[in-house]
Amino acid sequence: MIYESKLMKTNITTRVAKTACFSIPFLIIISFIMFSCKSSESVRDIRASRGEDVAGRGFSYSKDKPKEAMVKPLFMQQLRRATIELPFQKGLDVRGTRTVSEEVTFTNAENITESVDREGKKVTSLNEVQQLSEVVVTAKSRFTPERNGRVKVDFLVRVPKELLSENFRMTLSPKLFHNDSIIPLKEVVLKGEAFLAKQKQDYAEYDNYMKSIVGNDKYDDVFFDRAGTDKDIRNRQNLYYEEYYREWSKQMEYEKWKTEKSKFDAAELAKLKGYRQRFYNEYVRKAREQVIRDMANGKDTVGLFAQYMKKFNKNAKALVLDDKNFEVSYMKMPAKFREAYEEGRSLDDIINNVLTESDSIEIAQNRYLFEAIAENEMKKERKGEVAKEMIPFPYEEGVRLDTIIDTGRDFVYLYKQDHPVTVGLKKLSLTMNGRVDAVDRSRYMMAPGDTISYFISSLSQLVDTSLIYKRTKLYRDAYNRLTTYVKFQPGQSAFGINYKDNKAQINNVLNTYRAFTEDGKFVVDSIVLRVTTALDGSYDKNYKLTEKRADAIKEYFVKSLSGEVNDANTVIKVEFGGEDWNTLANQIQQRNDIMNKTQILALLEGAIDPDDTEAKIKKDFADDYKVIRDSIYPLLNKATFEFNMHRPGMTEETALDVQERPNYEKGLKLLQDREYWKALEILSDYPDYNTALCLICMGYNAKAKEVLDGLPETGNTEYLRAILSIRSNKDNEAIDHLMRACELDPSKVYRAPLDPEIADLISKYSLQRRIEGLSTPIEDIEVADAN
């Protein structure tokens, strides 16, 4: 019996329909299932409960010995193997070693332009080299060059047809040796048709295996026992009803008994009350009749009525006239109703159970096909292991080549691979391993292939080590010319040291003089001072003006050097040139902002009267004249100092001075190791051939040309000029420099094929025969003494 004290009251109308279980949240069910399936004893317990044998069943397997391995012929073949070879090049062997070259390309490469100073001279100061945003070393494929700091490695993979089979997969694994590191390259995979078919079949079978695995979202559809669940729900509903009916029917019987008993007692009580009243009235009537008779007989009637009432009360004691006599008592009721009576229970206290969601979950949890679920979970857990079993030869990933081969002929493949080049790298080596897998899972490991070596060449190897020692040809007599722009008031000749920047201009001259004469390096024989002016004003006045200005400047220098130069007035000589028409013409020739340059230069060349010529330019070409007056005229007002000197104690006209350059050898080593910036930090103090070479390697083409322009013509410098001309798209000029380089240094004929820019030029214009005519046998080439 279910009582109020034990269960929560629930309205009978909240009974859940039969189909309520199918709306159970899936996550609640599946979480229970997963928990159940993870238990190693769940299936065993179920089988045991059914009387099944849950002990391990006997294991047996096929003991047939495999037939001969498919790779047996590879064990029996005559030393054939897959090999690697260098691609064929005319005049070179296809095996062994090769010298490979470097080609340099640049981001933001410097273009060659004519940079001039305000005197019209080219600027050659290395201090103007600015670091580019990026310097990238690259190379061409033919000579295994660097490209963006990488080397391309080309080789042929050759496999004899005797090693190929429809049932084989051959995997070739090249390896690159970089100093102490081994870098595996991407593999080359060769398959037969039968082997590929085997792979496809294995994947199809594994795909079927995976499709047989039921996903979590399909568990209800596949593993849920709906019929059994419906039956369990009906049984549970019947159980709840039967429990209710049992209690309800007992209570109804009790309530019926109480009702009928109450009716019976009420009727009995009414009968007793009526009988007592009738009995009472009979006594009252008898008393009245007696009183009437006694009164009629004259008898005393006092107390007569009381006597009858006394008799009535005596006789009425036997009658049950109190309602309490009809109350239900525990001992008087049937035993089966006593419990309900004792607890005071009514129909309202009969509580029914209903089928709740938790009941449905409980039922559903125990109505899944747990053996099938356990098997499905096992499949999911073993899918990785099964994949290895069912797919012994997975599809290859990350390979260079995966192809189906023709087993009737040799296989040849050109393998291209680039590799980063580090500082100081001189050599790369390459070898290759291989293995053969057959469809019967037999395997054959091939002997390693031969080793190919690549010796890396670059422009940086063109260094001239002879320049480690500075060889300077000294002349006994020397001179130096210094131009200053001393300022005067317009039309005036009086020199003022504090006027504008005159003090800085004059100090520059004095410092130059003292730099030559300090420590007795030179003895100044004379200082020639030459003063010129611009064209503003008349020609004759300007000529006289320069004479006066020259004397004024000389006077100042005589006073300034009187304590340092004996007879300074004689040493300092003056010249006065008037208007500087030569500098004017040179400056106009170099300008690009003078629109009528040709006509103006023609007027200057044919000038008879200078003042008329200037006036005509001013009138006919007013815009150009304004540019000339504002930009060029200030350059014509100048004072040039020429120092004529000799070296004291030197008797011969010339001598050779040999000095070792500090850190120069280290700079060359850095250049050869491609550490260009570090090399330039040292070489920039020595603007020579090696400095130009470093700049070319870095892409500073204009700076390199400026350095080369200051160097004598040699085979080395001409070779670099040829490269710069190629980079400037001046092929004809490049050819001239190349031919001249080979004439001056025949060894350049053998160097040319190793530098891709030169090699491309030779190929483009078919120059090979032409330069070979300039060559010298290698054994006759003289090697320069490094000392």
Give me the half-sphere count of Cα atoms (radius 13 Å) on the Cβ side of residue 336. Answer: 10
Distance between CA atoms of residues 133 and 145, nearest Å: 22
Contacts of 600 (CB under 8 A, 6+ apart): 588, 594, 617, 621, 624, 628
Judge whether 142 and 756 are in contact, CB under 8 Å: yes
For residue 267, is pLDDT > 90?
Answer: no
Q: Which CATH number among 3.90.660.10, 3.80.10.10, 2.60.120.330, 1.25.40.10 corresponds to the domain 661-780?
A: 1.25.40.10
Q: What is the pLDDT of residue 89?
A: 53
Strand, coil or helix: what is 104? strand
Average the pLDDT over 473-498 and give the result. 90
Tokens describing residue 72: 């047996």
Q: pLDDT higher for 403 or 147? A: 403
**Nearest one of 526, 581, 582, 574 to 552, comparing CA atoms:** 574
Residue spans of beta strands (DSSP E) within 372-457 = 401-404, 411-420, 427-438, 443-446, 452-456
- Going by the DSSP 8-state scheme, the letter that residue 405 receives in this structure is -
Q: How many CB atoms lie within 10 A of CB 598?
A: 11
- Give me the residue spans of the domains in the chain: 1-56+225-367, 78-181+404-457, 477-646, 661-780
Distance between CA atoms of residues 414 and 714, nearest Å: 41
Average the pLDDT over 130-147 and give the result. 32
Angstrom CA distances, 57 to 52, 53, 54, 60, stand at 12, 9, 8, 10
Judge whether 685 and 697 are in contact, CB under 8 Å: no
Mean predicted lDDT score pLDDT of the chain: 80
Distance between CA atoms of residues 507 and 512, nearest Å: 8
Q: What is the pLDDT of residue 326?
A: 58
Average the pLDDT over 599-616 and give the result. 92
Q: What is the pLDDT of residue 278?
A: 84
Q: What is the pLDDT of residue 86?
A: 78
pLDDT digits (tens, 9 = 90+) for 11-57: 333 333 333 343 344 444 444 444 444 443 444 454 454 445 555 55
Q: What is the pLDDT of residue 288?
A: 85
Q: Which CATH architecture has domain 477-646?
A: 2-Layer Sandwich (3.30)
Q: What is the pLDDT of residue 651?
A: 83
Give the angle 648-654-660 at the CA atoms, nearest 5°.
Answer: 90
For residue 777, is pLDDT > 60?
Answer: no
Cα dihedral 501, 507, 508, 512, rounded to 10, equals 170
For residue 391, is pLDDT > 60?
Answer: yes
For residue 498, is pLDDT > 90?
Answer: yes
Distance between CA atoms of residues 117 and 109, nearest Å: 23
pLDDT digits (tens, 9 = 90+) for 56-75: 556 666 667 777 888 888 88
Tokens describing residue 181: 């590191």
pTM (2 decimals)?
Answer: 0.50
DSSP 29-40: HHHHHHHHHH-T
- Which amino acid would we find at residue 68? E
Strands 427-438 and 452-456: antiparallel
Give the angle 502-506-512 at the CA atoms, nearest 5°.
Answer: 150
Percent of the chain whose pLDDT exceeds 70: 80
Cα dihedral 703, 705, 709, 714, rounded to 10, equals 130
Q: What is the pLDDT of residue 786?
A: 37
Model confidence band, residue 83 (pLDDT cutoffs 50, 70, 90): confident
Average the pLDDT over 377-388 and give the result. 89
Q: What is the pLDDT of residue 345?
A: 86
Residue 281 φ then ψ, to 5°:
-65, -35
Q: What is the pLDDT of residue 374?
A: 87
Tokens describing residue 287: 């008393």
For residue 155, is pLDDT > 80?
Answer: yes
What is the 3-state composition of the chain as percent helix, strand, coil, each rounded to the nearest 5? 50, 15, 35
Model confidence band, residue 88 (pLDDT cutoffs 50, 70, 90): low
Model confidence band, residue 190 (pLDDT cutoffs 50, 70, 90): very high
Q: What is the pLDDT of residue 31?
A: 44
User: At 643, which helix (H) or strand (E)?
Assistant: strand 638-646
- Which amino acid would we find at residue 675? E
pLDDT digits (tens, 9 = 90+) for 733-768: 999 999 999 999 999 998 888 888 898 999 999 998
DSSP 136-193: -EE--STT--BSSSEEEEEEEEEE-GGG--TTEEEEEEEEEEETTEEEEPPPEEEE-H
Q: pLDDT higher for 6 or 397? A: 397
For residue 138, is pLDDT > 70?
Answer: no
Determine which of 105-114, 161-170, 175-184, 625-634 has the lowest per-residue pLDDT on average.
Answer: 105-114
Token look-up 């099938």 returns 372
Give me the half-sphere count of Cα atoms (radius 13 Å) on the Cβ side of residue 126. Answer: 17
Greatest alpha-carbon span in the chain: 212
Percent of the chain whose pLDDT exceeds 90: 37
Q: What is the pLDDT of residue 360?
A: 81
Q: What is the pLDDT of residue 689?
A: 95
Strands 97-100 and 452-456: parallel
Q: What is the pLDDT of residue 251?
A: 87
Determine which of 342-346, 464-468, 634-638, 680-684 has the lowest per-residue pLDDT on average.
Answer: 342-346
Model confidence band, residue 129 (pLDDT cutoffs 50, 70, 90): very low
Long-range contacts from 664-673, C-beta under 8 angstroms, 24+ separation = 664/467, 664/468, 665/465, 665/468, 668/463, 668/465, 668/468, 671/460, 671/463, 671/697, 672/460, 672/461, 672/463, 673/423, 673/424, 673/460
Average the pLDDT over 317-344 and give the result. 71
Q: Is 572 exposed, middle or buried (0-12, 13-18, 19+ CB in 10 A)?
A: buried
pLDDT digits (tens, 9 = 90+) for 680-704: 999 998 889 999 999 988 888 899 9
Contacts of 680 (CB under 8 A, 6+ apart): 129, 691, 694, 695, 698
For residue 78, is pLDDT > 50?
Answer: yes
For residue 77, is pLDDT > 50?
Answer: yes
DSSP 72-83: HHHHHSSS---E
Model confidence band, residue 489 (pLDDT cutoffs 50, 70, 90): very high
Q: What is the pLDDT of residue 60?
A: 67
Highest mean pLDDT out of 10-19, 463-472, 554-563, 722-731: 722-731
Q: Is 165 exposed, middle or buried (0-12, 13-18, 19+ CB in 10 A)?
A: buried
For residue 109, is pLDDT > 70?
Answer: no
Q: Is 47 exposed, middle or buried (0-12, 13-18, 19+ CB in 10 A)?
A: middle
Judge whether 24 and 219 are in contact, CB under 8 Å: no
Q: Is the dihedral of CA 753, 758, 760, 765 positive or negative?
A: negative
Contacts of 608 (CB under 8 A, 6+ apart): none
Q: Is the dihedral of CA 339, 340, 345, 350 positive or negative?
A: positive
Q: How many CB atoms lie within 10 A of CB 461?
A: 17
Buried b (16+ CB within 10 A) or exposed e, 175-190: bbebeeeeeebebbbb
**Nearest one of 88, 415, 390, 28 to 212, comparing CA atoms:** 390
**Nearest one of 540, 657, 665 to 609, comparing CA atoms:** 540
